[in-house]
């Protein structure tokens, strides 16, 4: 720097660094000082005062200090990445974990803030999950539309806690009809689901391993009428196989530690086996046993709160004990398919209530049932599903693992049915609020683990990507489409990155690619696994090579935008999740075997249905009517109108022709369950919660000691930046500021706010004329003196910038408050006058009673009055007996009517269920027939094409044959003529002539006539063939 260069301060900026960002001051040259090159700026760091030259892209503008703890990121003057992270860091240090981000909510786990619901007015509630729930509840009452709250984020970011807090707030605020849904039941439900559907990891004691949708149905008055729980994508393979550092489902060690002596003896659990092939181990430390016993007692109390009887609980323990004994029994890895320990297998069959031989047949000899079915089918033509092979052969270990996973899946579905029974009601509902809780996005690198992710973790990450794609679609695609439809100009381009590229690696199918386009033969990972399972001799290496050939970059040094990368380890690949910001390494070893359809798992429901224990049979009775494609979804029962609508939405996904054909495909079931979840959510207005982690490896309580209470919590800026870039949150905020946050229908807006300008709106309130809504709203805007940039009138809706609707609401409230004060005064005056009239009547009544008391004192000792006093009660007794008898008869008649109505109602309910099952069966058959028809049409089209091609080839060959025939005839004719000429020359040479010469000429003429006749016959035959072909074409 030259001594004459003078610089002055311009403004405060954020200087982006590799480990975060820091505050700096941008410097500008004074008069006479040479300027910097284009694209370069000079800044002075605030922390140490050093001056450096950096690129313009490394500098971002700051906001005033008053916005350091802004409640809404959309309120920032300079909206950029550093400002958003700075605001989140300041609120996090102040123990304020939640922040609004437009219509969404951002929540950081572990801030230590208060879990109580915030208090405030409807439009000014501080950021909290309960505030978002209150907004959804208010929209439901105003718009009469279903709502859905969807938390997104990594594992351990507090999604389940957010869901539970939102549900408890809604139930506590709205109340319930007849007490069917209460806060205690919600807490009990989470206790039960935490035991049966969560596992213990190194960083969390309750990590969810299934997706759930809990819907609260509301009446027109805003009260909760019922609740309905639906679960999908249960990680049933967790029962038999667990990654390193993670446990089986929490219910197994809790049961082994909490059962009493009598139950242990009945379930043969008084002696715990030394080894279990499923990894089910009891706690060994005394303090762990004590905590597990207390947790099991809490679980039983929660089940009692949900109305689960003692017999049903014993049936649940029986199935769990059967799974445990099945793990002890094991299977022979070499040789014949049989149990390793027959004694444990006998115990498993006994607690499940079935014979050992039948149990062994269901586990190992499931193919015998198919053979018997084929033999007994006789003349029946099998369907496409029956014609397909039984699937790949299974080993004995896979058969045992399939039976265990199938039993647990049926048990979990039965528990969900019991929970729904406690929440069910027959009251009518208007709309519902659904709360979605799914396993978070998981990457083993977040816990600094060296292992690769498993197939089950890929499925959970796939669901997170589908929800992120739903956020992208709702926030950007549908929003911009709505602006185009309403003819409202908004200058915003779609983000370059989207979750669709990552999703194509996982679920790209042939129907999503145009035929003949480049890469038309590409398939996603799920479909590659689905195809390779059916090919004998195929393995994991084939799947890996196909996947890499479709999506991986050509070389390690080549830069590409492909979301998949081949790793150095064998069968390892990397998928870039979260918009490419979080690559996850997967190990493909054993995935083909996991994609096999296990018939043992399918036989689990039959084992439980034919159990000799009545409680076990009744436990799985609601599950027996579910069709095979829907078996992976629990909670399809329900008799209310809202529950039937939700169940039909799920069943439609599983009733397609694709689902009917792929009902035995494990990978297709994963895709269908994700489709069913997104289809169910598209019916609602969505509210997203972005749950973030404060740092890497901070899931759950963490191994680090707790910080002192006075110390402000710290935030890892690098980890927060990675998570923010993977959520499209800044782009959504930019669209929120550029676009219009609030919208109302034209008629709804006019009717709600016409009170603000009654003189202008008087001519549009006629009941006999249909007003011009657009013109009326334009005049209303002019009367309210609103900025033109803050409002826009579409074809059917009014679009408003953020803050405009709240300003109008405040004006409306102030105006209505004055009128309500006058109305209250008039009402109070009217009530006071009515009260005064009642007091006058009471005064007159008191005087009348006093007069009668004076007369009674005068006649009370007369003999005739005493006689009347004795006789009158006797008469009233007779009258009361007659009235009682009449009431009893009336009560009996009403009871008979009630019994008849209940019987008719039960018959109608049974008929409805029977008709629904028939509809499902007919829908499945219809989809099968449609698929058959499509296949037949394709075959018919192919046959028609072959026939046309054959006809064209035959026509070409016929023409060639005719040409050859003509040439042959001409050659023969020329040959005959040549022979005749030779004879004539010989005769001329020999000197003979006369009659012989004319004879030769006569023979030549006859030969020509013969040739002409042959040609005429051939032409006639060809004409007849052409006429026949023409007739056939006309008939076709």
Measured CA distances, 628 to 633, 654, 659, 920, 983 (Å)? 10, 9, 10, 11, 92
Please tell me which residue, 1014 or 677, carries the higher pLDDT value. Answer: 677
Comparing 189-193, 335-339, 501-505, 600-604, which segment has the lowest mean pLDDT?
335-339
Query: What is the rounded average pLDDT of the residues 429-441?
Result: 92
Rounded to an integer, what distance in angstroms lies between the CA atom of residue 236 and that of residue 209?
9
**172 burial type by CB count under 10 A (0-12 exposed, 13-18 middle, 19+ buried):** middle
C-alpha span between 351 and 612 (Å, rounded): 10
**What 3-state class would DSSP assign to 742?**
strand
Tokens representing 671 are 């895709």
Residue 862, SS3? coil
Which tens digits make up the pLDDT trace of 911-958? 888 888 888 888 878 877 877 887 788 778 778 778 877 877 888 888
For residues 256-281, give the mean pLDDT: 86
pLDDT, residue 954, reads: 83
Q: Taking phi first (over 0 means left), then psi (-120 to 50 degrees means alpha), and beta for anything else, what does residue 369 get?
A: alpha
Between CA 592 and CA 590 the distance in angstroms is: 6
Q: Give dist(CA 658, CA 924) in Å, integer.
A: 10
Residue 809, Cβ neighbours under 10 Å: how many?
14
**pLDDT of amino acid 280:** 87
pLDDT confidence band for 703 (50 / 70 / 90): very low
Answer yes or no: is pLDDT of 720 > 60.
Answer: yes
Helices (H), 640-728: 641-654, 657-661, 666-681, 717-725
**Distance of alpha carbon 716 from alpha carbon 575, whole angstroms:** 24
Domain boundaries 495-587, corresponding CATH code: 1.20.58.530
The answer for residues whose C-beta is within 8 angstroms of residue 564's C-beta and 6 or more apart is 505, 547, 548, 551, 552, 573, 574, 575, 576
Place 732 in a pLDDT band, splitting at 50, 70 and 90. very high
More confident residue, 788 or 315: 315
| CA distances for 864 relative to 109, 859, 861, 870, angstroms | 88, 9, 9, 10
pLDDT over 50 at 118, yes or no: yes
Read off the pLDDT band of 558 (50, 70, 90).
very low
Q: Give the separation between CA 474 and CA 687, rounded to whole angstroms.
A: 10
CB 378 within 8 A of CB 389: no
Q: What is the pLDDT of residue 556?
A: 46
Cα–Cα distance measured from residue 519 to residue 600, given in angstroms and rounded to the nearest whole number: 38
What pLDDT, on a 0 to 100 scale, did the predictor assign at position 1? 39
* Percent helix / strand / coil, the chain, rounded to 5: 55, 10, 30
39, 55 contact by CB (below 8 A) = yes
pLDDT at 390: 46
Cβ density class 592-607: b for 16+ within 10 Å, e for less:
bbbbbbbbbbbbbbbb
* pLDDT (0 to 100) of residue 708: 54
Mean pLDDT of all residues in 714-728: 86
With bands split at pLDDT 50, 70 and 90, how would you rate the model's confidence at 522?
confident
Tokens 């219009």: give the residue.
Answer: 740
- Rounded CA-CA distance 998/762 in Å is 123
Q: Structure tokens of 1023?
A: 């004409």
Alpha-carbon span 313 to 318, nearest angstrom: 9
Quick one: residue 569, left, alpha or beta (phi over 0 = left, psi -120 to 50 = alpha)? beta
Summarize pLDDT for 156-186 with one digit per residue, the tens.
888 999 999 999 999 999 989 888 899 999 9
CA–CA distance, 1021 with 695 (Å, rounded to integer):
91
- Residue 203 has a CB neighbour count (10 Å cut-off) of 18
Domain 745-807 in CATH 3.30.70.1590:
yes
- Whether the per-residue pLDDT at 909 is higher than 80: the answer is yes
Residues 148 and 685: beta-carbon distance below 8 Å: yes
What pLDDT is stored for residue 371 in this prediction? 53
Residue-level pLDDT at 383 = 43
Measured between alpha carbons, how far is residue 388 from residues 926, 936, 1020 in Å?
A: 19, 17, 54
Residue 122 has pLDDT above 80, yes or no: no
- What is the β-pairing status of strands 582-587 and 685-692? unpaired
**740 near 795, Cβ under 8 Å?**
no
Looking at residue 107, its pLDDT comes to 92
Q: Return the pLDDT at 781.
A: 86
- Say if residue 499's pLDDT is above 70: yes
178: left (phi over 0), alpha (psi -120 to 50) or beta: left
Query: Does residue 327 or residue 880 have the better pLDDT?
Result: 327
**Whole-number pLDDT of residue 460:** 93
- Helices assigned H by DSSP within 355-443: 356-364, 367-376, 384-387, 396-423
Which two structure tokens, joined as six digits, stand for 254?
């809790």
Mean pLDDT of 382-409: 71
Is 439 in contact with 155 (CB distance < 8 Å)?
yes
Residue identified by tokens 């193919």 is 367
Q: Which residues, including other chains, have CB under 8 Å from residue 894's CB and lie 6 or more apart?
A: none
pLDDT at 827 over 90: yes
Q: What pLDDT does residue 560 have?
A: 55
Contact predicate 424/180, CB 8 Å: yes
d(Cα 712, Cα 743) in Å, to the nearest integer? 40
pLDDT of residue 392: 59
Higher pLDDT, 639 or 867: 867
At 846 the pLDDT is: 95
Mark out the alpha helices in 94-235 (DSSP H runs): 129-143, 159-174, 183-196
- Strands (E) located in 247-306: none
The reported pLDDT for the residue numbered 386 is 40
Is the domain spanning 7-62 CATH 2.30.30.140? The answer is yes
Residue 377 has pLDDT above 80, yes or no: no
**All residues at 6 or more sequence positions from 111 whose CB lies less than 8 Å from its CB, including other chains:** 92, 95, 96, 97, 694, 713
Listed in sequence order, the residues at least 6 apart from 99 whose beta carbon sits closer than 8 Å to its beta carbon are: 70, 71, 72, 73, 87, 88, 91, 105, 106, 107, 127
- Is there a contact between 457 and 705 (Cβ–Cβ < 8 Å)? no
439-478 pLDDT per residue, tens: 989 888 888 888 899 999 999 999 999 999 999 999 999 9
- Concatenated DSSP letters of 461-519: HHHHHHHHHHHHIIIIIHHHHHHHHTT--------S--THHHHHHHH--GGGS-TTSTT
Name the β-bridge partners of 437: 212
Statement: residue 388 has pLDDT above 70: no
Query: pLDDT per residue over 49-64, tens digit each?
Result: 888 888 988 899 988 8
At residue 662 the predicted structure's pLDDT band, cuts being 50, 70 and 90, is: low
- pLDDT, residue 164, reads 92
Greatest mean pLDDT among 261-265, 375-379, 385-389: 261-265
791 CA to centre of own chain: 35
Mean pLDDT of 793-810: 88
Query: Model confidence at 557, in pLDDT bands (50, 70, 90)?
Result: very low
Q: What would the two tokens of residue 245 be? A: 């550092």
Whole-number percent of the chain with pLDDT over 70: 89
User: Which position has the higher pLDDT, 661 or 489?
Assistant: 489
Which contacts qualify for 782-789: CB closer than 8 Å, 24 or more apart? 783/756, 783/757, 784/753, 784/756, 784/757, 784/808
Q: Average pLDDT over the chain, rounded to whole?
A: 83
Percent residues over pLDDT 90 in the chain: 28
Paired tokens of 1008: 């020509």
Confidence of residue 314 (pLDDT cuts 50, 70, 90): very high
Residue 573, pLDDT above cutoff 80:
yes
Chain position carrying tokens 């929800």: 467
Whether 38 shows a pLDDT value over 90: the answer reads no
Residue 508 has pLDDT above 80, yes or no: yes
E-strand ranges in 703-816 read 742-745, 791-793, 797-800
CB count within 10 Å of CB 726 equals 23
In CATH, what class is 176-212+222-440+597-683? mainly alpha
Give residue 698's pLDDT: 54
User: What is the pTM (predicted TM-score) of this model?
Assistant: 0.78
């Amino acid at each position: 720097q030259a001594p004459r260069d003078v610089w002055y301060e311009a403004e405060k900026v954020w200087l982006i660094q590799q480990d975060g960002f820091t505050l700096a001051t941008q410097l500008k040259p004074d008069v006479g000082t040479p300027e910097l090159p284009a694209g370069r700026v000079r800044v002075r760091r605030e922390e140490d005062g050093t001056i450096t030259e950096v690129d313009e892209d490394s500098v971002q503008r700051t906001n005033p200090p008053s916005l350091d703890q802004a409640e809404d990121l959309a309120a920032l003057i300079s909206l950029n990445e550093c400002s958003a992270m700075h605001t989140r860091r300041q609120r996090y240090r102040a123990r304020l974990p939640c922040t609004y981000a437009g219509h969404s909510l951002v929540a950081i786990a572990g801030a230590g803030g208060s879990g109580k619901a915030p208090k405030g007015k409807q439009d000014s509630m501080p950021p909290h999950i309960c505030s978002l729930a209150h907004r959804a509840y208010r929209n439901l009452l105003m718009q009469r539309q279903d709502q859905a709250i969807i938390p997104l984020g990594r594992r351990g970011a507090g999604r389940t806690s957010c869901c539970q807090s939102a549900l408890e707030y809604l139930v506590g605020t709205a109340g319930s009809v007849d007490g069917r849904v209460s806060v205690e039941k919600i807490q009990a439900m989470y206790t039960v689901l935490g035991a049966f559907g969560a596992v213990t990891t190194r960083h969390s004691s309750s990590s969810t391993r299934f997706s759930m949708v809990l819907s609260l149905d509301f009446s027109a008055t805003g009260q909760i009428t019922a609740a309905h729980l639906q679960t999908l994508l249960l990680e049933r393979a967790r029962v038999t196989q667990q990654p390193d550092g993670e446990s089986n489902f929490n219910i197994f060690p809790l049961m082994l530690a909490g059962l009493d002596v009598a139950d242990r003896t009945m379930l043969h659990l008084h002696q715990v086996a030394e080894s279990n092939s499923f990894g089910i181990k009891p706690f060994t430390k005394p303090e762990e046993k004590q905590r597990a016993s207390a947790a099991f007692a809490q679980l039983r109390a929660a089940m009692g709160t949900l109305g689960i009887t003692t017999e049903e609980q014993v049936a649940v323990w029986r199935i769990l004990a059967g799974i445990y004994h099945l793990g002890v029994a094991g299977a022979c890895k070499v040789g014949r398919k049989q149990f390793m320990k027959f004694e444990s297998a006998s115990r498993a069959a006994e607690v499940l209530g079935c014979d050992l031989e039948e149990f062994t047949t269901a586990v190992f000899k499931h193919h015998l049932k198919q053979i018997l079915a084929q033999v007994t089918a006789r003349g029946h033509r099998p369907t496409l599903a029956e014609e397909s092979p039984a699937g790949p052969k299974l080993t004995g270990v896979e058969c045992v693992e399939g039976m265990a996973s199938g039993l647990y899946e049926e048990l979990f579905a039965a528990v969900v049915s019991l929970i729904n029974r406690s929440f069910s009601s027959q009251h009518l509902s208007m709309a519902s609020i659904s709360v979605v809780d799914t396993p978070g996005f998981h990457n083993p690198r977040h816990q600094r683990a060296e292992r690769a992710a498993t197939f089950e973790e890929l499925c959970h990450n796939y669901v997170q990507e589908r929800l992120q794609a739903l956020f992208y679609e709702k926030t950007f695609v549908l929003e911009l489409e709505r602006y185009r439809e309403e003819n409202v100009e908004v200058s915003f381009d779609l983000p370059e990155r989207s979750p669709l590229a990552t999703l194509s690696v996982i679920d790209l199918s042939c129907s999503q690619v145009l035929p003949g386009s480049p890469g038309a033969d590409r398939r996603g990972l799920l479909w590659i696994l689905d195809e390779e399972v059916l090919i004998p001799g195929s393995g994991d290496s084939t799947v890996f090579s196909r996947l890499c050939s479709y999506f991986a970059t050509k070389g390690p040094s080549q830069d590409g935008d492909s979301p998949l990368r081949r790793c150095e380890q064998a069968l390892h690949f990397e998928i870039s999740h979260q918009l490419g910001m979080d690559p996850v390494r997967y190990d493909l070893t054993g995935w083909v075997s996991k994609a096999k359809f296990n018939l043992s798992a399918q036989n689990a429901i039959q084992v439980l249905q034919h159990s000799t224990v009545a409680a076990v049979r009744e436990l799985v009775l609601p599950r027996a009517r579910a069709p095979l494609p829907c078996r992976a979804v629990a909670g399809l029962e329900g008799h209310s109108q809202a529950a039937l609508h939700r169940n039909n939405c799920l069943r439609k996904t599983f009733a397609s022709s694709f689902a009917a054909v792929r009902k035995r495909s494990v990978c297709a079931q994963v895709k269908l369950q994700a489709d069913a979840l997104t289809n169910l959510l598209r019916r609602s207005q969505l509210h997203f919660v972005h749950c973030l982690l404060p740092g890497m490896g901070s899931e759950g309580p963490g191994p680090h000691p707790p910080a002192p209470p006075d110390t402000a919590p710290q935030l890892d800026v690098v980890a927060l930046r990675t998570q923010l870039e993977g959520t499209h949150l800044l782009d959504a905020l930019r669209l929120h500021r550029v676009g219009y946050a609030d919208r109302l229908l034209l008629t709804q807006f006019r009717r709600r706010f016409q009170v603000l300008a009654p003189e202008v709106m008087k001519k549009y309130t006629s009941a006999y004329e249909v007003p011009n809504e657009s013109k009326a709203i334009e005049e209303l805007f002019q009367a309210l003196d609103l900025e033109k940039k803050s409002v826009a009138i579409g074809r059917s809706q009014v679009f408003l910038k953020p803050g405009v609707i709240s300003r109008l609401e405040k004006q409306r409230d102030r105006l209505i408050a004055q009128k309500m004060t006058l109305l209250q005064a008039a009402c109070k005056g009217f009530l006071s006058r009515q009260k005064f009239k009642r007091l006058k009547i009471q005064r007159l009544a008191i005087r009348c009673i006093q007069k009668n008391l004076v007369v009674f004192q005068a006649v009370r000792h007369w003999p005739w009055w005493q006689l009347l006093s004795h006789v009158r009660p006797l008469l009233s007794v007779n009258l009361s007996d007659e009235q009682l008898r009449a009431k009893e008869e009336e009560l009996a008649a009403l009871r008979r009517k009630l019994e008849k109505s209940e019987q008719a109602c039960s018959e109608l309910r049974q008929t409805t269920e029977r008709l629904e099952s028939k509809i499902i069966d007919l829908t499945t058959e219809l989809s099968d027939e449609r698929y058959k028809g499509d296949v037949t049409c394709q075959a018919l089209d192919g046959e028609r094409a072959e026939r046309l091609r054959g006809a064209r080839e035959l026509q070409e060959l016929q023409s060639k044959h005719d040409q050859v025939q003509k040439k042959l005839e001409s050659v023969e004719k020329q040959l005959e003529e040549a022979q005749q000429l030779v004879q004539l020359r010989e005769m001329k040479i020999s000197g003979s002539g006369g009659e012989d010469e004319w004879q030769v000429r006569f023979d030549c003429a006859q030969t020509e006539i013969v040739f002409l006749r042959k040609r005429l016959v051939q032409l006639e035959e060809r004409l007849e063939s052409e006429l026949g072909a023409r007739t056939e074409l006309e008939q076709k």
